[in-house]
Amino acid sequence: MEAVDALLETAVENRVSDIHLIPDAAGLVMNWRIDGVLHAVDRIDPEIAPNMAARLKVLAELLTYRTEVPQEGRLRWPDPHSPGARSDVEMRLSTFPTLYGEKAVVRLFVGSGTYRWLDDLGLPAETADGLRATLQESSGLLVVCGPAGSGKTTTIYACLRELTDKSGAVRSLVSLEDPIEAVVPGVAQSQINAVAGFDYATGLRSLMRQDPEVILVGEIRDRKTAETVFQAALTGHLVLTTFHAGSAAGAICRLSEMGIEPYLLRTGLQGLLAQRLVRRLCSCSSPVAEDTGRLGLPVTEARQPAGCPECRTTGYRGRLLLTEFLKPSTDELGRAILSRDDAATIEALAVRAGMKTRWQQALLAIESGQTSPAEVRRVFGWQT
């Protein structure tokens, strides 16, 4: 018990987002993910290792005797009624059977207590303004897209809190999530239970008969869910959701490829926010002297990580949100969507209408010394 408590407390203090406990022939390997990068940390004492996953499952109210199937749950840590209980950290446990025992991953949503509001996310002014304008609409669909680990959930929860805090009137806000990753007061949150037949599409159809004004759908995963989401957006509801796509224009094309009719995309979409997270350089960074250090990026100035005790010799401390906000409001964009034009064409038209792309934001972050060329290449790749 003490070992697990010490582990979780240390992880919180070190801004860890995920703890990986991986069994092997010699015991248990522990890795931490900090600022999006996985680090090898330690090997757990073989005498303690067998009890670690069991203790975590007790805290998450999971079945300790079921080790042959995956399980998920919210960690109750510490006891909510204990003097040391903290309200700024949400934790979830996921277990998975492997050859040598259960692999356990604890996800720490420290951001649920830190990045509560849109102003806390560090969004560019034009993106924040566009997002807030969309949240004031009474109907339509707002999509937050990006790859896994890009902060979509943090952003969508910040939008929900913005709606509950600044709506100026009582509004009916509901959610369908899988899983519920943070509790948002003022929102009736429901968790999907696919085993019981309670999936996104089924739940959303029922929620539309519950007289909601704002609906959060955790994620669009399939055509059935997408169609129901657009139906809700076109029948007087403001719908917020997340979607896996590399860019805002790419999200439009992916939704079209899923079978969503162009007229629904044109009429239902209020805005698309695409985002990525890059590590922020520590104050110990140094200038890049040679052109090769810019890694082929079109920048005139750049800095590189150095390493110091403050950043645990990684050269980075914290992360920076890079975004692009596409609002399909111009006639040209509308025609491109209706014509099923490719992502490059839609993005070019959005840029012409004033959108700053995630790539432009990344280059600005390098020029201003907030991140490094190596980090941008790590996140965006070499073919951008």
Indicate whether this model's pTM tops 0.95.
no
The single residue listed with the structure tokens 């209980």 is 85
For residue 114, name the pLDDT band (cuts at 50, 70, 90). Answer: low
What digits encode the pLDDT tens for the residues 262-307? Answer: 999 999 999 999 999 999 999 999 999 777 788 989 999 999 999 9
pLDDT at position 330? 85
Fold of 2-110: Beta-Lactamase (3.30.450)
Q: Is pLDDT at 172 greater than 80 in this prediction?
A: yes
Q: For residue 44, what is the DSSP state?
A: E
The domain segmentation of the chain, as residue ranges, is: 2-110, 115-380
pLDDT confidence bin for 342, thresholds 50/70/90: very high
At 12, which amino acid appears? V
Structural fold of domain 115-380:
Rossmann fold (3.40.50)
For residue 31 the two structure tokens come to 């890795």
Question: Model confidence over 14-37: pLDDT tens digits?
Answer: 889 999 999 988 889 999 999 989
Q: Is it true that 2-110 and 115-380 share their CATH fold?
A: no
Using 50, 70 and 90 to split pLDDT, how confident is the model at 168?
Answer: low
| Collapsed DSSP state (helix, strand, coil) of residue 288 | coil
For the record, the structure tokens of 371 come out as 């991140």
| Residues 212 and 173 sit within 8 Å (Cβ to Cβ) | yes
